[in-house]
């Protein structure tokens, strides 16, 4: 099997780089590496998701599903210091980077776990789940992530998804509508959609 940023382990040689980036008005220093998603800058889709996200109406933890090296979870942990951000990924290198980035940006209200999709957090409940899903893993995997997210959301909890129109936004929207009975387009920029469904 060829390696992807959603593979558990990588044999790609490590070559860490650090750079600065502002998210939600806060400065961050991120360390990234080969074999992780969007290693040179925080990708546009993740930035749009970070900027569009509003705090859910219900109390509880927030899950960053497929956290990569951590920009979504860490920026929201800093923005909402009273929430615990749980960050999960299958990619071991990405998780190591997330832990390093949490430390070097002094973000403490985070828990970073290895998890294939939601396997490690199935017994928990969340106020919100955010994901920039691994489109290359295929539609079945992405839609399964939505389904598993619905199962761990508490009543009135929210699923937030960023997805490009050309990479399946219409079918993602339909799937979320089918699972939740509602879906809202919160933002739309440069072909990227921010979709939100509420568990009612």
Vertex 109: Cα angle to 150 and 123 (nearest 5): 35
What pLDDT, in 10s, does the model give residues 8-63?
555 577 788 999 999 999 999 999 987 676 667 899 999 999 999 999 999 999 99
Answer yes or no: is pLDDT of 3 > 80: no
Confidence bin at 194 (pLDDT 50/70/90): very high
Domain ranges for the chain, please list them. Answer: 47-198
Task: Check residue 9 and give its pLDDT.
Answer: 55
Superfamily of domain 47-198: Vaccinia Virus protein VP39 (3.40.50.150)
Confidence bin at 5 (pLDDT 50/70/90): very low
Average of per-residue pLDDT values in the chain: 92
CA dihedral 98, 124, 90, 192 (to 10 degrees): -80
Handedness of CA 91, 86, 75, 98 (dihedral sign): negative
Task: Check residue 134 and give its pLDDT.
Answer: 87
């Amino acid at each position: 099997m060829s390696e992807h940023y959603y593979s558990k382990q990588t044999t790609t040689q490590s070559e860490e780089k650090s750079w600065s980036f502002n998210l939600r008005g806060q400065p961050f220093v991120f360390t990234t590496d080969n074999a992780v998603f969007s290693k040179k800058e925080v990708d546009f889709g993740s930035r749009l998701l970070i900027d569009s996200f509003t705090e859910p109406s219900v109390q509880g933890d927030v899950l960053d599903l497929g956290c990569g090296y951590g920009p979504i979870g860490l920026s929201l942990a800093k923005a909402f210091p009273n929430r615990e951000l749980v960050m999960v990924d299958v990619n071991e290198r990405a998780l190591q980077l997330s832990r390093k980035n949490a430390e070097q940006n002094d973000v403490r209200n985070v828990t970073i776990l290895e998890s294939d999709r939601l396997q490690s957090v199935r017994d928990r409940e969340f106020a919100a789940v955010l994901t920039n899903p691994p489109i290359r893993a295929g539609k079945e995997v992405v839609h399964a992530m939505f389904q598993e997210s619905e199962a761990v959301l508490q009543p009135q909890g929210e699923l937030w998804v960023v997805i490009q129109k050309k990479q399946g936004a219409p079918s993602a929207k339909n799937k979320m509508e089918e699972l939740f009975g509602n879906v809202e387009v919160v933002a739309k920029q440069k072909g990227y959609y921010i979709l939100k469904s509420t568990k009612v």
